[in-house]
Amino acid sequence: MPLLPGEATLGVLGGGQLGRMFVQAAQSLGYTCVVLDPDAASPAGAVAQAHLKADYLDAAALAQLAQRCHAITTEFENVPARALDSLAATRTVAPAGRAVAVCQDRAREKAHFVASGVPCAPYAVLRSTADLAGVSDELLPGILKTARLGYDGKGQRRVTDRTQLALAFQELGGVECVLEQMLPLALELSVLVVRGADGQAVTYPVQQNLHRDGILAVTEVPAPDVPQALQAQARQSAVAIAQGLSYVGVLCVEFFVLKDGRLVVNEMAPRPHNSGHYTMNACDVSQFEMQVRAMTGLPLREPRLHSPVVMLNLLGDLWFTAEGEERTPDWAGVLALPGASLHLYGKAQARVGRKMGHLNLTGATPEAARESARQACALLGLPQQW
């Protein structure tokens, strides 16, 4: 039986902006929400009905969360999987700890892609300096990534030869790493797949993404440069990856399109994702409401894109001039633009590189959405992309 709106309480491990938007979506449906996060000023904790200020492995706090909630989710991939396993002993937990654990480990993640029949970049797992000698020449030049705890470009080094590889492995602390062959990339895209406990899976439209310095900067939907056949392949691959994990919830799968037109999977995130923020204003059901639906057993329907859209990620850089002086971005000018919807995350202090919000710009046509995005970039001082 589904957990019905107005009758159930939902829990979230993690208090960041993704948790905040999940809580807001759940509350709009009539659910009560409890957040567990150690930060007293967490964005999600500020809007939830209750905030348990404790470590994610605090046994008493986990017991209280389980006692107060009917179902529990996580809003970031590095939450300890054993915390999810502990909660799952008495409560519905989605996604499950075992699925999150695969996403937390690049070596296991790559193995899962291969097992799912989805091509990824050629790679090798390096667990010690002894493994360096066995690296195939074909993997160089490559990208060395820590197997765990890397995100937004962190924990990565580009290497062109064996000398650089040995130095990079040392710089990354000699921890387990994955070396991926560097491939000629044409563009990046991602797919949101939503899977229920009954195995039903639906996908959102393919999202074309642009990253700057390893951080997502722009998402466009419909994906302007991705052929329909490749979009269908990406959506089918994302479903296969989710099914192989017996995943429940929203899963984001990121892909590369190579210059020769091939599609390879890059990585996945066991949660709603930055590249899916456009769904809040351009689709008939957002990725956050879909997370609620999946974990509560409510119906999953194929989401509908009703407006072309450009999403701009807003980093803390916008709150400072080129000279480093604090400023307030021109929100009045931005909100006067056609199709503009601003989402700020309630973070008290802006810092360079910190994710502070996002801006969705919808239009009747893709070009109309891009024109609004051009004007927004000019007002905010963001690089022009179109």
The 3-state secondary structure of the chain, one letter per residue: CCCCCCCCEEEEECCCHHHHHHHHHHHHHCCEEEEECCCCCCCCCCCCCEEECCCCCCHHHHHHHHHHCCEEEECCCCCCHHHHHHHHCCCEECCCHHHHHHHCCHHHHHHHHHHCCCCECCEEEECCHHHHHHCCHHHCCEEEEECCCCCCCCCEEEECCHHHHHHHHHHCCCCCEEEEECCCEEEEEEEEEEECCCCCEEECCCEEEEEECCEEEEEEECCCCCCHHHHHHHHHHHHHHHHHCCCCEEEEEEEEEECCCCEEEEEEECCCCHHHCCHHHHECCCHHHHHHHHHHCCCCCCCCECCCEEEEEEEHHHHECCCCCECCCCHHHHHCCCCEEEEECCCCCCCCCCEEEEEEEECCCHHHHHHHHHHHHHHHCCCCCC
Q: Which residues are annotated as part of the binding site?
A: 106, 145, 150-156, 180-183, 188, 211, 266-267
Q: Which residues are annotated as part of the binding site for ATP?
A: 106, 145, 150-156, 180-183, 188, 211, 266-267
